[in-house]
Structure 1
Amino acid sequence: MRTARPLRLLLGFLVATTVALLGSVPAQAAESAAGASAYAESTYAENYVALGDSYASGVGAGSYDSASGDCKRSNNAYPVLWKNAHAPASFSFTACSGARTGDVINNQLGPLNSGTSLVSISIGGNDAGFADAMTTCVLQGESACINRINQARTYIEGTLPGRLDAAYNAITARAPNAQVVVLGYPRMYKLNGGCIFGISERSRAAINGASDLLSDVTAKRAADHGFAYGDVRPTFSGHEICSDSEWLHSVTFPIGDSYHPTAAGQSGGYYPVFNALA
């Protein structure tokens, strides 16, 4: 997509120059210029690599690629939805359930090279210990939940920025010409929603607050690296747990799907945000 723009600009310049010199442009010449520009746009295709954790691999969305094993890469995940819609020249899907920033650096960057034109990544939640925090909140009550969430907040503010920097630097080093799109995380709960049972409202608010902090820190690090950031909180608004139209699993079976987007969350929450930026 980016390589087509210089050609369009050049064609536009040539047309404008012809107008200035001759006073008019024959219809056939104008149509030829427009056709060449459209051809350049249509024949350019991305070389796309999708990195990240379970929110990128599509845990909770079903229809998993059996070859992906424990990484649980879903055919309903937003990277696959984008690939199906845009038919990039190449597509590599290395996102993996449970991944942290170090796993991205050590295990997921193999497909990246100077020809990579588009990279997506969702990462940071596992570094911050959100899975453990959610387990604590569900099993150990409000006091333990708040304490564990506060630990996560301390990590997000103090340690996570450096971990994100390391992952983002590694991506840039291997794919210096790529547009990188960083996707954040949704809020888990609709406060004062329809949930009668489960964790307390104070615990839900604390979880949402930590999720907001994670999103804000991630957005800042992405911006400082020149990456695009996709905030999915607006698209998930009204679709959190305890809403009337949930796009996130609460505690469910299999247990690993808990607190992950459903197929609707991937298609309605993540995909449009990524598609607008890619």
Structure 2
Amino acid sequence: MGLEHYPETNYRDAQNKSARDACHRSDKAWSRQAKLPRAGKSIGELADGRDASLDYHMVACSGARTYNLTKKNEYGELPQLDSGYLDKNTTLVTISIGGNDSRFTPIIQACILAGDNNCADSPFKDHDEDIDSAPNENRDGRYQDKPMKEAVPGLISDLVRTDITSALQKIHEKAPNAKITLVGYPELIAGDASCIKLDVLLPYGFSPQSNVWLKSVAKTLATQMEGAAADAKAKGIAVQYANPISEFSGKGICGDPESIHGIVLKTVDSDEPKIDFPLLGEYGLSAQSFHPKIGGARLYANVLERSLNGWY
């Protein structure tokens, strides 16, 4: 989305280059582009016009994992559920969470570096101690160094689903009268991924085999996110899952129209390639890489609108 980022969420301190906010909230975000049922204007238009019928707040943050909702902030911001916007008067919460818990960025990097090989066979190497609730718990330890084709589905099914359900429950505790829409993730790439090449002199890109495996991961995550919503609903929480895979069909990276960025080398103020993409740091990728374009956010808005019709 780039130029549409709110400056305070695409920020680097001029006096301290290590201090930054890279949450990358945008005025073209899908929650702002969507219209509520029976509304004549989009949520963003109503919010910008200070419409009395709406009290809208956005605390989305690029890279957030479920624990960023409650116990660990990003970029100096408060944990999202501590922002003060949820209470008994809240009627709707929209959230997309779980992709980063599933280790989206490490997986993408491994698949690029696998080149002509199938990254499903690459070892999974991404320990995150912040998912632990006690010292030395090592919840994701059993997946380390296993082939990603074994580790990633297991991680998603055994840990990510549970953590999403817990996140939904914590939202409900803050906003007991709110309906919650959990929005999923699309398949990243349309076609055979041949348009993605990191280096023309090296076989760094996505192989057809890696692309097929990534599509299977998207389906696994969709199944488990739907399951997490069902688990929360069984606890009495008003939640539904909205799956965007069909909406994005043929429109991912390499698609027509392409609604998700491929490799983006034009950086924005808060980009730190060696931190955001440590295995590919020398190539200078922007954090916009592999994220929706404005048109992709519109597709997400379509998914949200359909999920709300007849329910909210």
1:84 lines up with 2:44 in the alignment: yes
Deviation per residue, 1:221-248 (Å, 9 max, x gap): 1123231111111110110122232111
Residue pair 1:146, 1:203 contacting (<8 A) in 2 also? no
1:219 to 199, 218, 226: 226
Q: What is residue 270 of structure 1 aligned with on the other side?
A: 300
Per-residue deviation, 1:276: 2.1
Share of identical aligned residues, percent? 29
Measured against aligned partners, the alpha-carbon deviations of 1:126-177 in whole angstroms (never above 9, x if no partner) come to 1111111001111233244543442222200111121112101101111110
**In structure 1, what is the equivalent of residue 261 of structure 2?**
249
CA contact 2:96–2:183 (8 Å) conserved in 1 = yes
SS of 1:229's equivalent? Answer: strand
Q: 2:25 aligns with which of 73, 79, 82?
A: 73
1:185 — aligned with what? 185
Moved more, 232-241 or 88-97: 88-97
**Which residue in the other structure is 1:64 paired with?**
5
Letter in 1 for 2:228: R
The residue number in structure 1 matching 2:60 is 95
Alpha-carbon RMSD across the aligned residues, in angstroms, is 1.9
Task: Report if aligned partners of 1:184, 1:229 keep a CA contact under 8 Å in 2.
Answer: yes
User: Helix, strand or coil: the match of 1:163?
Assistant: helix
Give the Å deviation of 1:192.
Answer: 3.8
1:42-57 → structure 2 map (5 Å cutoff): none
**1:193 Cα offset (Å):** 6.5
1:222-233 equivalences in 2 (<5 Å): 222-226=229-233, 227-233=239-245
Instruction: Tell me, in whole angstroms, the C-alpha distance in 2 between the residues paired with 1:134 and 1:145.
Output: 11
Shift of 1:62: 4.1
Letter in 2 for 1:276: R
SS at 2:22's partner residue? helix
- The superposition leaves residues 1-50 of structure 1 with CA deviations (integer Å, 9 ceiling, x where unpaired) of xxxxxxxxxxxxxxxxxxxxxxxxxxxxxxxxxxxxxxxxxxxxxxxxxx
CA distance in 2, matches of 1:73, 1:155: 28
Distance 2:226 2:103 in 1: 19
Partner of 2:166: 166
Over 3 Å counting, the alpha-carbon distance change for 1:224 and 1:62 in structure 2 is: farther
Deviations 1:195-226 (A, max 9, x none): 38531100001111101111110011112323
Alpha-carbon distance in structure 1 between the residues aligned to 2:215 and 2:172: 31
Q: Secondary structure at the match of 2:57?
A: strand
Alignment of 1:134-213 (within 5 A): 134-141=108-115, 142-147=117-122, 148=124, 149-150=148-149, 151-192=151-192, 195=195, 197=197, 198-213=205-220
Amino acid in structure 1 at the alignment position of 2:114: Q
Shift of 1:98: 1.1
8 A contact 2:191–2:250 mirrored in 1: no
The answer for the alignment partner of 2:105 in structure 1 is 131
The number of residue pairs the alignment matches comes to: 218
Change (3 A) 1:145 1:258: farther
Q: In 1, are the aligned partners of 2:263 and 2:290 still within 8 Å (CA)?
A: yes
The list of structure 1 runs, each at least 4 consecutive aligned residues, that deviate by more than 4 angstroms after superposition, is: 85-88
Structure 2: stretches of 5+ with no match in the other structure: 10-20, 35-42, 48-52, 72-78, 125-147, 198-204, 234-238, 268-285
**TM-score normalised by the chain length of structure 2:** 0.65
